[in-house]
A and B are shown apart, each in its own frame.
Chain A
Amino acid sequence: MALPNLFRLIYRNIRVNTDPGSLVILVGLPGMYLIFFGFGFGSLASADGQSHAYLAFLAPGIMSFQVLLAGTVGGSMLWADRRYGMLSQLLSGPFTRFQYLLGIILASVLFGLGGAAVMLVVALGLLGSIPTLPFSLAVMFGTIVLGSLFFGGLMLLLGALVKSNTTYNSIQILVLFVVNFASTVFYPLSNSLPFVLRAMFWVNPLTYVANAVRGGYTGSLTAMDGYELLILTVEAVVILALATRAYLRSDISFE
């Protein structure tokens, strides 16, 4: 029996984006962050007698970082399909515009979950401990889903609005850099930071993702994580609505 349309699109999106080059970016890059930053900066911390403390802090952060990468995969898929003619080819086939969009969003979520799972396995290999509570794991991966939806939506919005290759890549790199480093992925939010920088941390959805995943990983979830996830949910809904609107109004090709 043939798969339903949506699953066929998801299969296609995953297959097209799992070539060796893409996998290096999706899994290799965060894996290297985890290993090099974890041990590199961990050696600084070891001066205080906490050799694995930074690695344990970084591991859930790198899991969270996957949602950002998953989002870029989604945005790039839409942009490339418009640029290289596959969107109009697919839409002249048995698919609706909405199925196509949903196919990208769900593929992004699967990339987020898959990447986070790989990072979790790498972290366990390095640290040897595991969050045993099913509730903690559910919160961690539920947060990954929410984060992937938000950043998938954000990058889809970009993919729907931008036509130029240079502009698309420049904005994507800028977003990746700012969102990644102005979050609690790599370091905790400190009061010693300038106010503007602290404000950037607090409005950054990746901070909410990293805090909740870290809370689940370390078994230290608080009410604050719950509030942040609520905000993240609202933001994801809003950004997905905006992305859908922009996508439905966009040209299906750059002809």
Chain B
Amino acid sequence: MIFAQDLRHTYDGKHFALNGVNFSVRRGEIFGLLGRNGAGKSTLIKAMTTLIQTTSGTLRILGMDPARDGQRIRNRVGVVQQGESFDFSTVQGNLDIYGVLWGLPKAERVKRREQLLQRFGLDDVRKRRAFDLSGGQKRRVQVAREFMHDMDVLFLDEPTVGLDVIMRHTLLDSIRSEAQRGLTVVFTTHNLEEADYLCDRVAVIDEGKILLLDSVENLKRLYGGKKTVDLTVSGADVPGFFRELGNRLASRATVTVRGNEGVILSDETKGVLSEIAHLSQSFGVQLEWLNVRGNTLEDVFLQSVGHSEGLRGTA
């Protein structure tokens, strides 16, 4: 359904937002793009939805070239953008107008609109202006609106931002159910739990490159022998403590530090704990929180992105 080979894109001629991206997505697959802000996820979505033409490389959507067949591709895809996008109308009006834009006959339009208002819990706010809704409600309108029309591929750019837990699962389950009917889904997210819950495969993207690409299960297995140590410390010399810890564990672990919190991935948990205990005394820091757990997709993500930044063994 989607094929990308050595995809590169630069906005300014100097920095590459996409820097040699290769991947493919199969029919009916739910494909997750994980990455930090500015990693290149949205640029990739824009390229796949024909909003930008990449500087070089090969991209095929539904077997077509976005540079030549943009409109034909867009006729068969749906896009939920990262930012807000509404007409100055009510919730019901927004869905209705979108149905007209996609050429739905009136009876079908009304039927789908009513189903979607119910499914996404928007019935109570149908008469309210979309711009006046809360962040989560707006997001629901945007996603519901996209289901007004038929499509072969759905692109969702961080669709669950601002949604509460129940609505997030409603949305994710809706996506999963559509995928089971053959819809191919590409979505970006910061939330690794939902990628874990939903995706068949994920790609971790950073600085315009795909660092990892595999099924969620395989990625976890890849790091399966390791454990994660989470710790939170306080004291006068927290930076010094983490710096020294990173140096000592350089050959045995990956240390990622954010402020006074550290995440250590290692297959030698005993040795890590021993170093922590020893160094906390030497640097006079207090252990506020310490936890040892199995791996999650988040750890895989942190480690892969940490590698690309050269964080391994540093603090």
- Decide whether A and B are members of one complex: yes
The stretch that binds B, out of A82-90, A162-170, A215-223, is A82-90
Residue A43 interfacial (CB < 8 Å) = no
Against A, the Cβ 8 Å flags (1 = close, 0 = not) of B173-200 are: 0000000000000000000000000000
Contact A88 B81 (CB under 8 A): yes
The stretch that binds B, out of A3-11, A137-145, A152-160, A177-185, is A3-11
Residue B23 interfacial (CB < 8 Å) = no
Note all chain B residues with C-beta closer than 8 A to A19.
88-89
The contact of A15 among B74, B89, B102, by CB within 8 Å, is B89
Kindly count the residue-residue contacts between A and B in the assembled complex, taking CB atoms under 8 Å apart.
70
Across the interface, name the chain B residue whose C-beta is closest to A2: B103
Q: Give the CA-CA distance A96 to B71 in the complex, in Å.
A: 7
Against A, the Cβ 8 Å flags (1 = close, 0 = not) of B87-130 are: 11100010001001111110000000000000000000000000
Contact A9 B51 (CB under 8 A): no
Q: Give the CA-CA distance A252 to B46 in the complex, in Å.
A: 12
Against B, the Cβ 8 Å flags (1 = close, 0 = not) of A90-124 are: 11111110000000000000000000000000000
Residue B85 interfacial (CB < 8 Å) = yes
Note all chain A residues with C-beta closer than 8 A to B103.
2-3, 8, 94
Chain B CB within 10 A, most for which of A9, A86, A89: A89
Q: Give the CA-CA distance A3 to B51 in the complex, in Å.
A: 24
Contact A92 B74 (CB under 8 A): yes
Q: Give the CA-CA distance A86 to B100 in the complex, in Å.
A: 15
Note all chain B residues with C-beta closer than 8 A to A91.
51, 74
Contact B97 A15 (CB under 8 A): yes
The contact of A253 among B49, B83, B86, B93, by CB within 8 Å, is B83
Majority SS at the chain B contact face: loop
Contact B102 A86 (CB under 8 A): no
Q: Give the CA-CA distance A94 to B101 in the complex, in Å.
A: 8
Q: Give the CA-CA distance A85 to B103 in the complex, in Å.
A: 21
The contact of A12 among B49, B70, B84, B97, by CB within 8 Å, is B97
Note all chain A residues with C-beta closer than 8 A to B84.
84-85
Note all chain A residues with C-beta closer than 8 A to B93.
15
Residue B18 interfacial (CB < 8 Å) = no
Count class of interface residues, chain B: 20 to 34
The contact of B85 among A2, A15, A85, A96, by CB within 8 Å, is A85
Note all chain A residues with C-beta closer than 8 A to B85.
84-86, 88-89
Note all chain B residues with C-beta closer than 8 A to A96.
70-71
Contact B81 A85 (CB under 8 A): yes
Across the interface, name the chain B residue whose C-beta is closest to A91: B51
The contact of B101 among A88, A93, A253, A255, by CB within 8 Å, is A93
The contact of A92 among B81, B86, B88, B97, by CB within 8 Å, is B81
Q: Give the CA-CA distance A3 to B105 in the complex, in Å.
A: 9
Across the interface, name the chain A residue whose C-beta is closest to B96: A15
Cβ of B98 to closest chain A Cβ, rounded Å: 9
Pairs of residues from A and B, 6 with the lowest C-beta to C-beta distance, nearest first: A85-B85, A2-B103, A89-B85, A92-B79, A92-B49, A94-B75
Q: What are 11 A-B residue pairs whose CB atoms fall within 8 Å in the complex?
A: A9-B101, A12-B100, A16-B89, A80-B88, A85-B84, A89-B81, A89-B85, A92-B74, A93-B79, A94-B75, A94-B103
